Copies of this chain bind each other. A is one copy, B any other.
Amino acid sequence: MFEEAESDPILAKKTFDLREPRLRTALLNAQYQLLNRADRMLLVVVAGIAGSGKGNTINLMNEWMDPRHIHTLAFGAPTPEEAQYPPYWRYWNALPAKGRIGIVFGSWYAPLLKEAARKRPDAERIGKEVEHIRRFEAELAANGVQIVKLWYHLSAAAQAERTRVLLSSPETAWQVVPEDLKVPKKYDRLRDAGIAAIERTDLPHAPWTIVPSADAQLRHLRTAETLLAALRRRQAPRPARARALAADRPARIADRLGELDYNASIAKNDYEIELGLMQGRLARATRSAKFHAGRSMVLVFEGQDAAGKGGAIRRVTRALDARQYDITPISAPDTVETAHPYLWRFWRHVPTPGRVAIFDRSWYGRVLVERVEGYAAPADWGRAYDEINDFEAQLADNGAIVLKFWLAVSRGVQLARFKEREHSPFKNFKITPDDWRNRKHWKDYVQAANEMLARTNTPAAPWHLISADDKRYARLQVLRHIVETVEARL
């Protein structure tokens, strides 16, 4: 894999001088063409042997292209703040918008490479990291992010020599960092870690390129050529899996909404007493030291219009400390949000330990309104079930208690509530032409909801289907599920 790179090839200065001007112009033009595209972003992962000059080459690429549209993202060990979130949170948060180029140092490969370079690597941990990487990159690629990965490589002797030359002058010595000096001692392990990582993550939608790095000009040229080739592809390569997913549907989907008992109800007096008691239990649990130490909560509220999501949410938040929760109402994405992969805007609201994130509608819009109204292509919403399950699993792995509620009203009760809203001077803001239009597509929504319930009801993030014709009954059920789950998990 590294034969060419470890032979430390050299580029004739004449060749470089001849090709540089044309390459620069071509790169710049290709960058400007990308800039006009709302559906694609280029993400460049930079990795390789320390002290190979990758920073130096990336600096040059920033000079050759228009640096205002390039975001250099450099990750180190997670900060205390970053460590509170799922590991991929910081990568999601830093993703540049479509049209841009992102260059990533210290990427999601860092933990894998670190483990693989140990004296006795843990095969299971490596397997997990590889799996995470493959999922993440597949999801990005399916969402219009073109991924190019560069491995800067040179022989052990050339690495040591490059460091020696830099150290020999006070004008350049500061460019050498401690990591560079450690390479000679463990070159073989670093090299083998690179091979292991590249072999397991070299995919058509996220290919690796090895850049011979002993000679600066060859390093620059190969980097520029790789970027140019990527920018010139008309279509970013998509992962094979994404195309198949839409077809990957369960043969039979249970009609859970149809089979629900809509007559469940509770007397007003019983409700008042139970509500206070439930809220008390929730208040105690969410104020406990255990909850604040490592737990958080993600509550998702979905359901038909007028099912009573807002009222149920308010009964929950009254029991919470005002400083510990956020309610995020989800509606159509804005222009900044559509310029990023679908789940990006939800990653920004992931809770830290001790906090509760409440979503009034959620990422499930993808497989509900976007599917029914045709805002998302079948391939996009078909893929979303898997992406969502993966997202929620990452939250749960990080200690979040994820609970999802579908508040179900019958068609008749919805109509009655719509009419009541229209006639109430302080409720009529709640009813819009959209609500009436959605109602016309009742069956499509039921079908979409049933499929969603079937495909995203995971042990880590279960759905609770709740009969909501009686609002009080629904509110208590929501509280009961939350309280019992939180108490059981603490």
Contacts and interface: CB of A to CB of B under 8 A. Distances in A.
Interface of A: 21, 24-25, 28, 32, 55, 59, 62-64, 66-68, 72, 74-76, 80-81, 105-106, 169-175, 177, 272-273, 275-277, 279-280, 283-284, 310, 314, 317-319, 321-323, 327, 329, 334, 336, 360, 425-426, 429-430
A322 B170 contact: no
A28 B173 contact: no
B74 A323 contact: yes
Contacts of A430: 66
Contacts of A314: 59, 62-63, 67
A174 to B, nearest CB: 4
B323 A75 contact: yes
10 contacts: A24-B425, A24-B426, A28-B429, A59-B318, A72-B322, A80-B80, A81-B81, A105-B323, A170-B277, A174-B319
Given A72-B322, A74-B322, A323-B106, A171 B276 contact: yes
A25 B425 contact: yes
Given A106-B323, A323-B76, A283 B174 contact: yes
A25 B425 CA distance: 6
Contacts of A21: 425-426
A322 B75 CA distance: 9
A360 B66 CA distance: 13
Contacts of A64: 426
Contacts of A429: 28, 32, 66
Given A55-B322, A323-B105, A275 B171 contact: yes
A25 to B, nearest CB: 4
A329 B55 CA distance: 21
Contacts of A106: 323
Contacts of A28: 425-426, 429
User: Which 5 interchain pairs have the tightest Cβ spacing?
Assistant: A171-B276, A174-B280, A74-B322, A174-B283, A74-B323
A63 B24 CA distance: 59
Name which of A62, A174, A310 has the most chain B CB atoms within 10 A of its CB: A174
Contacts of A171: 272-273, 275-277, 279-280
A321 B67 CA distance: 18
Contacts of A310: 67
Given A21-B426, A67-B310, A171-B275, 13 more contacts: A25-B425, A25-B426, A28-B425, A59-B318, A66-B430, A67-B314, A106-B323, A171-B277, A174-B279, A174-B280, A175-B283, A177-B321, A336-B336
A276 B174 CA distance: 9
Contacts of A426: 21, 24-25, 28, 64
B280 A170 contact: yes
A68 B430 CA distance: 10
Contacts of A284: 174
A177 B322 CA distance: 12
Contacts of A72: 322
B329 A276 contact: no
A319 to B, nearest CB: 7
A185 B117 CA distance: 62
Contacts of A66: 429-430
Contact of A172 (B55, B276, B321, B334): B276
